[in-house]
Structure 1
Amino acid sequence: MHDDESPTPGPARGTSDRLTVTSVTITPIAVKDPPLLNASGCHQPYALRSIIELHTESGVTGIAEAYGDDPTLELLSRAAAALPGLDVFDINGLTRRAAGSLGSFTAYNPTELIGPTGADKTVAQIVGAFEVACYDAQGKATGRPVVDLLGGAVRESVDFSAYLFYKWAEHPAGGGCDFEPDDWGAALDPDGIVAQARRMVDTYGFGSLKLKGGVFPPDQEIEAIRALRRAFPDHPLRIDPNANWSVPTSLHVAKELEGELEYLEDPAPGIPGMAEVAAGTPLPLATNMCVTSFTDIPEAVHRGAVQVILSDHHFWGGLRASQRLAGICETFGLGLSMHSNTHLGISLVAMAHLAAATPNLTYALDTHSPWQRGFGYTADTPDFQDVIRPGTLTFEAGSLRLPGGPGLGVEIDRDALARLHEQYRTCGVRRRDDITHMRLVHPDWTGKRPRF
């Protein structure tokens, strides 16, 4: 899967050569991940990603980033074999080829924190991965940024939200961790969460704050939100327990936090549960778990289950599909935000191009970037954990300005890619498993939801 040879750069503009795919390189990588806690358990010491390079006859190469667990890599490889001969402007052809190449497969989610598994959703993840690379190649060939190919920028910079986590100071013994603990330390109570938020705001300037909840009894998390409100009276607040509360518990939390939250994300499981909560609170409910594909939308709208949908080009089917989702949200008066996974710089900049071209994406986007050891690091930092050349992406006042240059506007750091591929080869992690890692501390942990 890993190809150490870099493609020869092609002309950036006005090429007469065809932009036909000749080959695809998929490089699995592993990046160090802190012991962040959530409803399912605890992040493992390593998170898996894959870097996609779509090579064309003209020498232009489009890049993208996807999940990197074994089932995803298998499906990406099947689709990649069907892409030679594809014109990168033929996105409909990409969809047909990728979907048709998968044959029979077991529907699979790389994490249960993005809702139920489905065949359509699995196909969308694979199509979306290659579609971003096609857009990057299109932009490089035409000399235009991806945002222009998506309709043009409606905003000069994209707002992001601080993503706060309860966390341990270090990974538990036996977790296969061979690196020093991160310097964030533990955050296991309201004071710890406020301190974490203060560092996020001081370092990156984030204007809104989101707490990953569903970890401790709800009344403790209510107190954490209240502590954040006292410390940051003007910052919009969100909490996301990943459907780890029952309907009665959700209604209790909603009553306690009325007037405190920008929105309450996925408090209860499923569209029926969310609809019951929505009927009992004036707080807007958001989701990236019960509405994660187009087939979910009719029931959710009919029941009034959600008021904000968190898009994600990784599992909605790419950039075009995400814009289609934006149009549906506008039609039905739903708000639009954006979900984050443990992404690196290629996914981060793809999110930013999409958000910059989407008028009704008005909520600040989620991002895990401060938790990945590559963000804000320099090329000579030994623990550099990203695959793009450092310094390209920076947050200013909580916002990300699109980089200059055609396509996505970022380039692969070949040394970093090789190092993170070697880390993948030796780390032993091959799929995300928050439950097993949590059992190193709590042997009887099941991850079953709702727990409260």
Structure 2
Amino acid sequence: MTDDLRIDRVETVLVDVPLRRPHRFARAVMDAQPVLYVFVRTAGGITGVGEGVVPAGPWWGGESVETMQLVVERYMAPVLLGRRVDDLHRVMRDVGDVIAANLFAKAAVEVAMHDAWARCLGVPVHTLLGGPARTSIPVTWALGTEPAQVVVEEALGKLDAGLHHTFKLKMGAQDPAADVARIRTVAEKLAGVAGVRVDLNARWDRLTSLIHLPRLAEAGVEMVEQPVPGAEIEALAEISAALPIPVMADESLRTPSDAVRLARLRAADIFAVKTTKCGGLRASLDIAAIGAAAGLPTYAATSIESPVGTAASLHFACAAPGATWGSELFGPLLMAEEMLTTPLHYAGGHLHLPSGPGLGVELDPDKLRAFRRD
């Protein structure tokens, strides 16, 4: 059994998965999502898979799927080979001694090790995380920076189909006054039928936020995500204190140390936790626990993961007691192609835990070949 758990191969595959429609951020737009898959195989013949992914390239966190592939193959793989998949803490500590930062790349490897370890034991990944606190989680649908009528029509279509009940709109690509007017129009159209939230992707400064965000609260917007750059935690605290609606930290929150500082300064009301940006499942659990201890709920956020990364985030979100503010795990629904042999189960506005060992998902080898980069 000991030898069976040893890692004897680490492989990476880059794919570009087409989207159903372009997805627009404040600083980027994409019509396909690049994804790095990392496969960790044990001597016993069990393979675990993890995913490295960022939304539309290195503008968000500094990494890209291309840098992740290089870091995993050249620097992480030599640390992993010959080590046991259940020796996860020490392996990732040793990876950290070799590679600073690169949390997205580390997350791909850490999740692949969890998947392989759980498959070796014949249990789901959430068992390794303490078991499920819930078996499904609500899913918010993200809307882009398009004109108000376009996003209202998309939101109403989702509502009519019973797929989603809350929507998050991207901001920051337009003049602030025009952007606020656009959001107010959407909020008025959806008032009483759906929750409306906004994400500025750190595009405004402190003063712009203090001037314009109160008008969004007046219009019924129920949450504001990361209005100012990630390093400006004091400004985030001032904005949070000034608004009557919750402020969520995303770019300001990557590590447990960030979580402690945010909680101490009361700089946010909600923690946006992405297993990708946080370096994996264990650090994500630590951040959620810090938030829970400070009375700050966790929201399972997204980097627009494919079904593999989405499944990993789902296991975290269902295992973390403090993940009580729902999720944004819509990535697979935005993709034009199904990458799994059996799709993840979305129903009633929720994403439901899959059954089976490991992450509970299997990549479709035909789709992997079809979208693999040369």
Superposition TM-score, scaled by structure 2 size: 0.89
Deviates more, 1:206-215 or 1:271-280: 271-280
**For 1:148, which of 107, 112, 127 is the aligned residue?**
127
Q: CA deviation digits over 1:270-328, x for unaligned, max 9?
A: 21221221232222111111222233234433332211110111121211111111111
Matched, 1:163 2:160: no
Matched, 1:205 2:163: yes
Q: How far is the alpha carbon of 1:164 from its aligned partner?
A: 0.7
Report whether the alignment pairs 1:387 with 2:333. no
Superposed displacement of residue 204, structure 1: 5.6
Instruction: Give the number of equivalent residue pairs.
Output: 357
User: Is the contact between residue 265 and residue 286 of structure 1 (CA under 8 Å) also seen in structure 2?
Assistant: yes
Answering whether residue 167 of structure 2 is matched by residue 195 of structure 1, we say: no
Change (3 A) 1:84 1:272: same
The aligned runs of 1:258-337 (5 Å cut-off) are: 258=217, 260-269=220-229, 270-337=232-299
Distance 1:200 1:369, change over 3 A: farther
- 4+ residue runs over 6 A deviation: none
- Structure 2 CA distance, aligned partners of 1:268 and 1:362? 24
| Change in CA separation of 1:16 and 1:91 when aligned onto 2, cut-off 3 Å | closer
Partner residue, 1:25: 11
**Range with greater deviation from structure 2 (231-240 or 18-27):** 231-240
| Paired residue secondary structure (2:157) | helix
Distance 2:97 2:207 in 1: 44
Task: Report the RMSD for the aligned CA atoms in angstroms.
Answer: 2.0
Contact map agreement 2:315 2:359 (CA 8 A) in 1: yes
Shift of 1:348: 0.8
TM-superposed CA distance for 1:232, in Å, is 4.7
Q: Which runs of 5+ in 2 are unaligned?
A: 54-63
Q: Between Structure 1 and Structure 2, which shows a larger proportion of strand residues?
A: 2
Over 3 Å counting, the alpha-carbon distance change for 1:332 and 1:323 in structure 2 is same
In structure 2, relative to structure 1, the CA distance for the partners of 1:273 and 1:288 (3 Å cut) is same
TM-score (norm 1): 0.74
Please tell me whether Structure 1 or Structure 2 has the larger radius of gyration of its CA atoms.
1
Deviates more, 1:79-88 or 1:269-278: 269-278
Match of 2:175 in 1: 217
Do the aligned partners of 2:259 and 2:291 also contact (CA within 8 Å) in 1?
A: no
Matched, 1:371 2:323: no
| 1:351 matches 2:330 | no
Mapped pair 1:75 → 2:81:
no
Contact 1:243 1:268 in 2 (8 A): yes
Q: Aligned partners of 1:249, 1:99: CA distance in 2, in Å?
A: 38
Cα offset, 1:51, TM superposition: 0.9
Q: Which amino acid aligns with 1:252?
A: I
Change in 2 beyond 3 A, CA 1:96/1:302 = closer
Kept in 1: contact 2:7–2:84 (CA 8 A): yes
Q: For structure 1, which runs of at least 5 residues remain unmatched after alignment?
A: 1-14, 103-118, 167-187, 375-385, 426-452
Is the Cα contact below 8 Å between 1:190 and 1:224 reproduced in 2?
yes
Q: Which residue identity lines up with residue 74 of structure 1 in the other structure?
A: L
Corresponding position: 1:91 with 2:88: yes
